[in-house]
Structure formats: C-alpha cells, structure tokens
C-alpha cells in the first residue's frame, strides 16, 4: 500500500515540478548581456536609451491591448539597462487609471485618454498635469472563422448590424451584396464580445457609432451594448471564435495571427476595400487630430475617414504619466523608459507583434513630450 | 473505532462505571493530568476559532452588503439588471442564482451516482491489486488545479460536448429545459459537466472510506441469508453509508457552487436584454465568476458592496443546503450493533 501511494505522490510532484518549470519569464538574458549599455542593441534614435538608464523599479498597469508591445519594450530596455526593473500588469484600462490616480503605480496604460474627471483626479494625485502619450497603435481587426471563406469584405453599416444581432446568418443579402465572389452558406453568425470592461470595446463602438450612426445607436462605452456571447479578455474571444464555425468578433491584430483567424477587409467608401496592414493603420494615426494641449497628445481619430488606403479601426494606447513627478528619480526613470519605448528600434519591432509603428510625425511629438517629463 | 457516522465503541456501553462517572469521561486519575487538560483546551480552542471565523466572515459580508442593498433601486432577488455603479445602482441576482444552481445541480446529478458507483467498485468488487491503484488514480483527479480543468475543457472537451448538445437540442428541443439558444461557448450544461468531473474525487474518496467501515457482520449476515452481491450491497452497505455519502455530497456541492477559476474561463456572458429562458443551453455567469471577472473594478464602496451582496447570497445558499443535509443525517444516524 505504501509503495503505490508513494509512487502516486511522486508522480504528482514530478508532474507539478515539470509544469512549474515551464513558468517564468525569459527576461533572464538581461543580466547576461553585459553591464552598462555597451552590449545593448542601440541604433539611431535609441542611443539615448543607453544613456538614460536608471536603477530601481518602475511600475505600470493598465491596458491589455498594449501588453505584447510593452513587454517587448521592457525586454529591450532591461537588456540595455541591467539595473532597471519595470513591471507592467495588464489588468485593463479602467483598472490602470484607477491605480494611477490612487498613486499605486508610476504610469498607466489606457486605450482612451483621461476623461475630464479622471484628468482632475490624476492632477491631484500627481501634483501636476497628467499627460496622455500615445505609444502603441493597435489596429482592431474584425476576426471571423467561417469555413471556406477567406476574403470577407464588410462595411461599417453591415458590421454594426451583425454586432447588433440584426443580421443573423452569413448568407444574408447585406453581406452577399459586398461579397459577390464568395460562397456564403446559411451558417448562423455567432458574435463574441468582451465581457470585461475594455478599451478595445470602447474604441470599436466609437468606430461603429462614428461610421454607422443610423445602424449603431448605443453610446460608446467600455461595457458592450450589442448582442452576442461575452468571453473574458482578448484571449477568450479569440479562442472562442477559433473554435466556433461562424464566429465573429473584434480583437487586436496580434490575436488574429495567434489563433489563425481571418480578418475582414473594410469598405470605407474610398473605392477599394482596405486590408489591415501596418501601413494602412499608420495612415489613420497620421490623419488624427491632436485634441490635447501642449505636451498632452491625446488624439481624436477620424473613424469615418474615406481616405484611400486607410484602415479606420485603430486603437491608440496612451501611456499616462505625470508631467512632473514628486520624486525626481521616478521622473528620470519614466523618461528613460518611455524614450526607449518611442524610439525607432523598439517601434519597428512592434509590427511583427501585431501593432502599427508610430508614424514619424507623431513619434517626434511623443519624444519631445517625453523629454519634458521630469 | 469511531467512524464518520458518529458511532463509537464507548457509546455501546452507556451507564456509569466503577467510580460513579460515566465511562466516556474515564477515571479521575486520567482526567486531571496536565496533558489531558492541554489537549482538551486546545481542541476547544480550535473549535471556537473555527466558529468565530465563520461568524466573522458572515458579519463582514453583511456589513459590506447592507449599505449597497439599501441603495439598490431594483429588487435584489428578482431583477435581471446588473449596473451597480453610479448614483442610482440597479442590480439583481436572479440570473446569477439560476446559473449557479442549475450548473451545480447538473454537477451533482452526474457526480454523486458516478462517485458512489466508483466507491462501491473500489471497496466491494475490485480485486486487491486494483483497489489501491484505482483509489490513487481517482484521488489524482482532485490534485489537478482548476485552471488546468478550465484550459482542458475549453480546448479539448468543448468539441466533444458540442455534438451531444446539438443532438439534445434537436431531439428534446420542445422541452423548456433543452430548448435551443444561440449560445455555443459556455453553456450551463457544459459547465455542469466540467464541475461534475471536478467534484467526483471528493464524493468518491469520502464514500470509499464510509463503505469500508461497513460492519463485516452485516455483510456476512446478508450473504448468509442468500443475498446476491448486489443485494448485499443494497441492504447492508448502502444504508450504513448513507449519512457519509450525504456528507460527501454536501462537500462536493459546496465546491461546485463556489468554483471560480474554471467557470470564469469557460462562461459565456449574456448580452444585456437577452430574453429570459430556462434552457440549460443558455449562457450566463455564476456568482463566483461574476465577482472574479469584475474584481478589478471595485472602486467605490457601493459598487464593491453590490458584489459582496452577491457573495452573501452564495454564502447563505451554501449554509441552507448544508443545514438541510445536517438534518437529514441526524435523522438517519448510523445504527450500532
């Protein structure tokens, strides 16, 4: 009796140890790449990062949309600066802002700029104005999984009707009108939405309301107001669509490739349907207007744009910082990290992760603003 | 030789012993020893600590929930809305209650007969070399973390259950419990099945212990009177073990009602204003998964209070179920020789 019990316990322990050894990040190469910035990969505009290393810890929290991007930026920065430790907790834009105004974290990641009351709370917490600095442009893809269909074209009106539950089968006349070549069957459309309060939902409903106001009447908000089934976080909705024939959802570009889904081309009325690429998404950012004053770079995107070759559904993630930190060392640390984040070397590496690199005009404004943080 | 059912050797010889005290207390030489008194005190302290803990948890839940309940504009027990933020919060738990109770009921309906059957097999039918192996394997089911259950169910099990759900909806769709809905992800039915797998080891392990305790004389007597093996089990083993099996089921039900991570992973939240349906193939959140999903948004005390009120309902529900189980067990306390 004892032997088989011992064997069973041993087997469980071994399995547990093996499973747990798979956990853990691969940031361990930070220490091995030599001290100082000499060994780090610094080119061009990123050479400033090597000079502005800090030693200590920096804490950020917020948007899940920029999670992959900021993790890559952290890895690059920590490789170059081995004494710095940066933690980013992707709990959602709402949670990040609350932690920032509660002085629990040094910067917040949010998919929408601070609203008036949030900005006032942040100003009180910082003792100075809070700035919204766009760092990551994440296009939102309309991802679908329909057997035998790879080249779906949608426009804002039809998309709004699908996500509102008005259009319920894939061979509805509204969809076949835009897709004359494709063979669509009577498979029911299964809509999946984000069940948590999400900046992605807010940006997507912003697009639907701006581009199709007659079909989408609900006010844009972090909470979903359409129809469908709710799943948790982008990972949940993406894997749900991947395992459901006829599923459709809105999610970040990076999750589409990960789950092997197809993306819809958007017909904006500009002539040819626009496919989502880094370049087409970048054009939407260039066309955006700055509504913040001075170094506060909150942008107003034009979702109803009819410009050729512009993908309209883009999400900009801001990193929200204090313009002047009470602790000067924190200010230096934030400045150093965000300069590296906005630099060419980091931004160009984001495209393979599913983000659009910041266009040059916006990037130079961001670098100026980061330089003014103290 | 005491057992889960509460019978013990000492209770077989009631009455006074030679020193005038009842036998259970022992003689005065032993009960004034320092070791005895420390042990008695420690046991009493542990018992009081547990009672105090449960009471304090109940008090905490009430204290946080009552202000939020007073502010609630909608009827807490019958409303389907859930908007606890802002100045005029409206929240009600009827959807959460239905989903939680339905998925746990499905889990119980599957896990209890299965668990008792496995326990009977291990104790009565299995050859000795198989007993230990089978027992360890079933106990291993309990060692799997719930997040792993959630992952496995989402990635692998879902595709196995889909045809079953489709078949049931086609054949029995006229019955309100099985009427088709558009939900394809986390239906109550699917979550119930996953929960049943998670609580099965609890039922099996405890039932196994109880069935092992069946007095051999009872079993031998039944066999001597000409019973077949199944009749012997039905007349000697099962009645003896009934209180134990009920205890095991209550523990399993407690786990099923409160299971958080696996359910949060699998559940499909319904869009607002979805029409009410009693179908088991509908989506919906349980108490635990709604609280877990929204834990990041506890910014104001009023909003937090709404979620704690939901937790309080779950606490009260489990308490009521356990109380009923206790009453059932007390009425059917094990018979002694």
CATH number reported for the structural domain that contains residue A53 in this entry: 3.40.190.10
Task: Flag the least confident range among A79-88, A263-272, B103-112, B327-336.
Answer: B327-336
Distance from CA of A91 to the nearest CA of B (A): 7
Total domains in the fold of chain B: 2
Question: Are A159 and A141 spatial neighbours (Cβ–Cβ below 8 Å)?
Answer: no
CA–CA distance, A139 with A347 (Å, rounded to integer): 15
Question: Are B23 and B262 spatial neighbours (Cβ–Cβ below 8 Å)?
Answer: no
Residue A128 inside a domain? The answer is no
Query: Cβ contacts (< 8 Å) between A92 and chain B: which residues?
Result: 296
The whole domain housing A83 covers: 4-121+323-371
Interface list for chain A against chain B, based on CB atoms closer than 8 Å: 1, 4-5, 8, 11-12, 91-92, 94-95, 98, 165, 188, 190, 192-193, 195-197, 224-232, 236, 239-240, 243-244, 247
Cα A13 to Cα A8, A9, B144: the distances in Å are 9, 6, 11
Nearest to A230 among B133, B140, B268 (CB): B268
The residue that leads in pLDDT, B16 or B28, is: B16
Residue A12 inside a domain? The answer is yes
CA–CA distance, B113 with B312 (Å, rounded to integer): 30
Q: Does the distance separating the beta carbons of B271 and A229 come in below 8 Å?
A: yes
* Residue to test with chain B: of A222, A236, A237, A246, most B Cβ within 10 A: A236
Give A64-127 as a DSSP string: STTHHHHHHHHHHHHHH-TTEEEEEE-S-HHHHHHHHHTTSSSEEEESSPPPHHHHHHHHHHHS
- Indicate the residue among A282, A314, A335 that finishes a domain: A282
* Residue to test with chain A: of B87, B96, B184, B275, most A Cβ within 10 A: B184
- Indicate the residue among A222, A251, A282 that finishes a domain: A282
Residue A93: other Cβ atoms inside 10 A:
29
Distance from CA of B288 to the nearest CA of A (A): 14
Distance from CA of A195 to the nearest CA of B (A): 6
Q: Do residue A149 and residue A100 come from a single domain?
A: no
Spell out the alpha helix ranges (H) of chain A: 2-21, 29-32, 47-51, 67-80, 93-101, 116-126, 156-163, 173-178, 199-211, 233-242, 253-258, 278-286, 328-342, 344-348, 360-371
Q: Do residue A117 and residue A144 come from a single domain?
A: no
Q: Do residue B46 and residue B138 come from a single domain?
A: no
Q: Quick one: DSSP state of residue A44? A: G
How many CA atoms within 13 Å lie on the side-chain side of A317?
A: 36
pLDDT per residue as tens digits for the range A39-48: 333 333 344 4
Q: Do residue B129 and residue B193 come from a single domain?
A: yes
Cα A250 to Cα A256, B276, B332: the distances in Å are 10, 26, 57
Q: Does the distance separating the beta carbons of B159 and A8 come in below 8 Å?
A: no
Q: Please, which pLDDT band fits residue A10 given cuts at 50, 70 and 90?
A: confident
Total domains in the fold of chain A: 2
Q: Do residue A157 and residue A274 come from a single domain?
A: yes
Annotate B193-223 with three-state secondary structure: HHHHHHHHHHHHHHHHHHHHCCCHHHHHHHH
Question: Are B114 and B196 spatial neighbours (Cβ–Cβ below 8 Å)?
Answer: yes
Contact B242/A at CB under 8 A:
no
Question: Are A1 and A9 spatial neighbours (Cβ–Cβ below 8 Å)?
Answer: no
Question: Are B157 and B195 spatial neighbours (Cβ–Cβ below 8 Å)?
Answer: no
Q: Does the distance separating the beta carbons of A229 and B294 come in below 8 Å?
A: no
**Does residue B293 have a pLDDT over 90?**
no
Residue A223 inside a domain? The answer is yes
Q: Do residue A156 and residue A216 come from a single domain?
A: yes
CA–CA distance, A233 with A199 (Å, rounded to integer): 11
Q: Which residue has the tokens 């199709």?
A: A212
Residues of B (148-167) whose Cβ lies below 8 Å from A: 154-155, 158-159
CA–CA distance, A197 with A314 (Å, rounded to integer): 18
Q: Do residue A176 and residue A219 come from a single domain?
A: yes
Instruction: Determine the pLDDT at residue B208.
Output: 94
Contact B139/A at CB under 8 A:
yes
Task: Flag the least confident range among A3-7, A73-77, A272-276, B114-118.
Answer: A3-7
CA–CA distance, B164 with B162 (Å, rounded to integer): 5
**Does residue B285 have a pLDDT over 50?**
yes
Q: Do residue A102 and residue A22 come from a single domain?
A: yes
Instruction: Determine the pLDDT at residue A42.
Output: 38
Residue B100: other Cβ atoms inside 10 A:
29
Q: Do residue B187 and residue B147 come from a single domain?
A: yes
The residue that leads in pLDDT, B25 or A139, is: A139
Task: Flag the least confident range among B25-29, B56-60, B308-312.
Answer: B25-29
Chain A to chain B, count of Cβ pairs less than 8 Å apart? 74
CA–CA distance, A128 with A120 (Å, rounded to integer): 10
Question: Are A209 and A220 spatial neighbours (Cβ–Cβ below 8 Å)?
Answer: yes
Contact B16/A at CB under 8 A:
no
This complex has an ipTM of 0.73
Q: Please, which pLDDT band fits residue B336 given cuts at 50, 70 and 90?
A: very low
Q: Do residue B18 and residue B149 come from a single domain?
A: no
Nearest to A190 among B159, B184, B267 (CB): B184
CA–CA distance, A105 with A97 (Å, rounded to integer): 9
Question: Are A189 and A162 spatial neighbours (Cβ–Cβ below 8 Å)?
Answer: yes
Q: Please, which pLDDT band fits residue A53 given cuts at 50, 70 and 90?
A: confident
Question: Are B279 and B215 spatial neighbours (Cβ–Cβ below 8 Å)?
Answer: no
Buried b (16+ CB within 10 A) or exposed e, B115-147: bbebbbebbbebeeeebbebbbebbebeeeebe
Buried b (16+ CB within 10 A) or exposed e, A319-357: bbbbbebeeeebbbbbbbbbbbbbbebbbebbbebbbbb
CATH number reported for the structural domain that contains residue B153 in this entry: 1.10.3720.10
Task: Compare all CA atoms of chain A with the CA of B261 and give the residue at the minimum distance.
Answer: A232
pLDDT per residue as tens digits for the range A199-251: 889 889 999 999 999 999 999 888 888 888 999 888 888 988 988 889 999 99
Q: Do residue B25 and residue B119 come from a single domain?
A: no
* Residue to test with chain B: of A8, A229, A237, A244, most B Cβ within 10 A: A229
Q: Does the distance separating the beta carbons of A12 and B293 come in below 8 Å?
A: no
Strands B269-270 and A262-263: unpaired
CA–CA distance, A230 with A222 (Å, rounded to integer): 13
Distance from CA of A42 to the nearest CA of B (A): 37
Q: Which residue has the tokens 């005390």?
A: B301
- Indicate the residue among B68, B83, B110 that finishes a domain: B68
Comparing CA positions, the residue from B103, B87, B104 lying closest to residue B253 is B104
Q: Do residue A148 and residue A115 come from a single domain?
A: no
Q: Does the distance separating the beta carbons of B270 and A239 come in below 8 Å?
A: no
Q: Do residue A248 and residue A156 come from a single domain?
A: yes
Q: Do residue A276 and residue A238 come from a single domain?
A: yes
Instruction: Determine the pLDDT at residue B17.
Output: 59
Task: Compare all CA atoms of chain A with the CA of B187 and give the residue at the minimum distance.
Answer: A229
Nearest to B293 among A94, A229, A232 (CB): A232
Q: Do residue A81 and residue A182 come from a single domain?
A: no
Is A61 in a helix, a strand, or coil?
Answer: strand
Q: Do residue B89 and residue B44 come from a single domain?
A: no
pLDDT per residue as tens digits for the range A281-324: 888 888 888 888 888 888 888 888 888 888 999 888 899 998 88
Classify the C-alpha dihedral A155-A161-A162-A168 as positive or negative.
negative
Residue A49: other Cβ atoms inside 10 A:
27
**Does residue A352 have a pLDDT over 90?**
no
> Percent of chain B beyond pLDDT 70?
89
Contact B270/A at CB under 8 A:
yes
- Indicate the residue among B37, B68, B99 that finishes a domain: B68
For the residues B209-229, what does the mean pLDDT come to?
Answer: 94
Question: Are A189 and A171 spatial neighbours (Cβ–Cβ below 8 Å)?
Answer: no
Distance from CA of B175 to the nearest CA of A (A): 22
Q: Do residue A90 and residue A145 come from a single domain?
A: no
Distance from CA of A138 to the nearest CA of B (A): 23
**Does residue A35 have a pLDDT over 80?**
no
CA–CA distance, A278 with B205 (Å, rounded to integer): 57
Q: Does the distance separating the beta carbons of B265 and A190 come in below 8 Å?
A: no
Q: Do residue B64 and residue B83 come from a single domain?
A: no
Q: Do residue A343 and residue A243 come from a single domain?
A: no
Question: For residue A170, which phi and psi values (nearest 5 degrees)?
Answer: -70, -20
Instruction: Determine the pLDDT at residue A37.
Output: 35
Task: Compare all CA atoms of chain B with the CA of A98 and give the residue at the minimum distance.
Answer: B299
Cα A326 to Cα A53, A57, A103, A128, A372: the distances in Å are 19, 16, 11, 9, 15
Q: Do residue B57 and residue B147 come from a single domain?
A: no
For the residues B233-256, what does the mean pLDDT come to?
Answer: 92
Comparing CA positions, the residue from A148, A188, A192, A150 lying closest to residue A172 is A188
Q: Do residue B193 and residue B226 come from a single domain?
A: yes
Question: Are A101 and A62 spatial neighbours (Cβ–Cβ below 8 Å)?
Answer: no
Strands A107-110 and A247-252: unpaired
- Indicate the residue among B29, B48, B68 that finishes a domain: B68
Cα B221 to Cα A226, A315, B1, B63: the distances in Å are 67, 77, 21, 57
Q: Do residue B80 and residue B111 come from a single domain?
A: yes
Q: Do residue B193 and residue B308 come from a single domain?
A: yes
| E strand or H helix that includes residue B276 | none
Compute CA B175 distance to the chain's CA centroid, rounded to the nearest angstrom: 28
Q: Do residue B25 and residue B129 come from a single domain?
A: no
Residue A93 inside a domain? The answer is yes
Compute CA B165 distance to the chain's CA centroid, rounded to the nearest angstrom: 25
Is A62 in a helix, a strand, or coil?
Answer: strand
A311: phi > 0 → left, psi -120 to 50 → alpha, else beta; which?
A: beta
Question: Are B10 and B24 spatial neighbours (Cβ–Cβ below 8 Å)?
Answer: yes
Residue A318 inside a domain? The answer is no
The whole domain housing B116 covers: 75-336
Helix axes B128-143, A2-21, angle to 10 degrees: 30
Residue A86 inside a domain? The answer is yes
- Predicted TM-score (pTM) of the model is 0.75
A73: phi > 0 → left, psi -120 to 50 → alpha, else beta; which?
A: alpha
Q: Does the distance separating the beta carbons of A244 and B182 come in below 8 Å?
A: no
- Indicate the residue among A251, A282, A313 that finishes a domain: A282
Which residues are CB-neighbours of A315 under 8 A, at least 6 positions away?
A: A65, A111, A137, A138, A139, A140, A199, A200, A203, A252
**Does residue B334 have a pLDDT over 70?**
no
The residue that leads in pLDDT, B302 or A108, is: A108
Per the structure block, which two tokens stand in for B231?
């009749």
Q: Does the distance separating the beta carbons of A98 and B299 come in below 8 Å?
A: yes
Question: Are A363 and A350 spatial neighbours (Cβ–Cβ below 8 Å)?
Answer: no
**Does residue B19 have a pLDDT over 70?**
no
Distance from CA of B133 to the nearest CA of A (A): 7
pLDDT per residue as tens digits for the range B156-194: 898 899 889 989 888 988 888 888 887 877 899 999 999
Residue A312 inside a domain? The answer is no
């Amino acid at each position: 009796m004892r032997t088989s019990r011992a064997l069973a316990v041993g087997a469980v322990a071994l399995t547990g140890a093996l499973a747990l050894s798979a956990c853990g990040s691969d940031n361990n190469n930070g220490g091995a790449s030599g001290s100082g910035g000499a060994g780090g990969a610094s080119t061009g505009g990123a050479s400033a990062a090597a000079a502005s290393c800090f030693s200590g810890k920096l804490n950020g929290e917020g948007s899940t949309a920029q999670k992959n991007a900021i993790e890559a930026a952290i890895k690059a920065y920590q490789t170059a600066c081995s004494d710095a430790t940066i933690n980013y907790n992707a709990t959602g834009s709402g949670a990040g802002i609350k932690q920032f105004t509660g002085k629990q974290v040094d910067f917040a990641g949010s998919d929408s700029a601070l609203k008036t009351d949030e900005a006032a709370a942040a100003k009180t917490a910082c003792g100075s104005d809070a700035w919204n600095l766009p760092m990551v442009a994440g296009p939102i893809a309309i991802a679908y999984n329909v057997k035998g269909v790879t080249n779906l074209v949608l426009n804002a009106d039809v998309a709004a009707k699908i996500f509102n539950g008005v259009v319920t089968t894939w061979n509805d006349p509204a969809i076949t009108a835009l897709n004359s070549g494709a063979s669509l069957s009577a498979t029911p459309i299964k809509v999946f939405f984000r069940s948590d309060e999400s900046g992605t939902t807010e940006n997507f409903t912003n697009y639907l309301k701006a581009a199709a106001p007659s079909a989408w009447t609900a006010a844009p908000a972090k909470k979903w107001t359409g129809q469908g089934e709710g799943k948790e976080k982008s990972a949940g909705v993406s894997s749900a669509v991947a395992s459901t024939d006829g599923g459709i959802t809105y999610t970040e570009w990076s999750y589409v490739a990960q789950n092997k889904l197809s993306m819809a081309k958007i017909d904006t009325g500009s002539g040819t349907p626009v496919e989502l690429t880094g370049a087409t998404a970048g054009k939407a950012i260039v066309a955006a207007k700055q509504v913040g004053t001075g170094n506060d770079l909150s942008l107003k995107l034009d979702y109803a744009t009819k410009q050729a070759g512009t993908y309209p559904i883009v999400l900009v993630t801001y990193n929200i910082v204090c313009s002047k930190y009470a602790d000067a060392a924190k200010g230096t640390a934030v400045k150093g990290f965000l300069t590296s984040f906005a630099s060419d070397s980091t931004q160009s590496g984001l495209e393979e992760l599913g983000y659009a690199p910041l266009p040059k005009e916006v990037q130079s404004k961001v670098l100026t603003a980061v330089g003014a943080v103290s | 030789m005491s057992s889960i059912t509460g019978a013990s050797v000492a209770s077989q010889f009631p009455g006074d012993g030679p020193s005038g005290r009842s036998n259970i207390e022992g003689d005065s030489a032993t009960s004034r020893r320092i070791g005895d008194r420390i042990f008695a005190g420690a046991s009493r302290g542990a018992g009081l600590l547990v009672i105090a803990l449960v009471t304090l948890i109940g008090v905490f839940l009430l204290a946080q929930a009552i202000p939020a309940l007073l502010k609630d504009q909608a009827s807490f027990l019958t409303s389907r809305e859930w908007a606890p933020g802002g100045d005029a919060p409206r929240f009600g738990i009827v959807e959460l209650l239905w989903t939680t109770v339905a998925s746990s009921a499905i889990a119980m309906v599957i896990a209890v007969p299965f668990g008792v059957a496995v326990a009977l097999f291990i104790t009565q039918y299995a050859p000795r070399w198989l007993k230990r192996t089978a027992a360890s394997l079933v106990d291993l089911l309990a060692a799997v973390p719930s997040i792993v259950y959630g992952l496995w169910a989402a990635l692998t099990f879902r595709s196995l259950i889909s045809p079953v759900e489709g078949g049931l909806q086609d054949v029995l769709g006229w019955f309100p419990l099985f009427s088709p809905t558009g939900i394809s992800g986390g239906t109550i039915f699917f979550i119930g099945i996953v929960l049943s797998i998670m609580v099965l080891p609890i039922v099996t392990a405890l039932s196994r212990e109880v069935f092992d305790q069946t007095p051999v004389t009872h079993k031998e007597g039944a066999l001597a009177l000409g019973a077949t093996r199944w009749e012997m089990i039905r007349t000697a083993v099962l009645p003896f073990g009934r209180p134990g099996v009920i205890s095991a089921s209550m523990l399993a039900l407690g786990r099923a009602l409160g299971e958080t991570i696996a359910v949060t992973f699998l559940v499909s939240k319904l869009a607002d204003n979805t029409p009410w349906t009693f179908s088991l193939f509908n989506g919906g959140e349980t108490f635990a998964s709604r609280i877990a999903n929204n834990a990041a948004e506890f910014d104001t005390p009023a909003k937090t209070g709404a979620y704690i009120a939901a937790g309080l309902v779950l606490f009260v529900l489990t308490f009521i179920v356990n109380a009923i189980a206790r009453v059932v067990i007390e009425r059917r306390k094990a018979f002694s020789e």
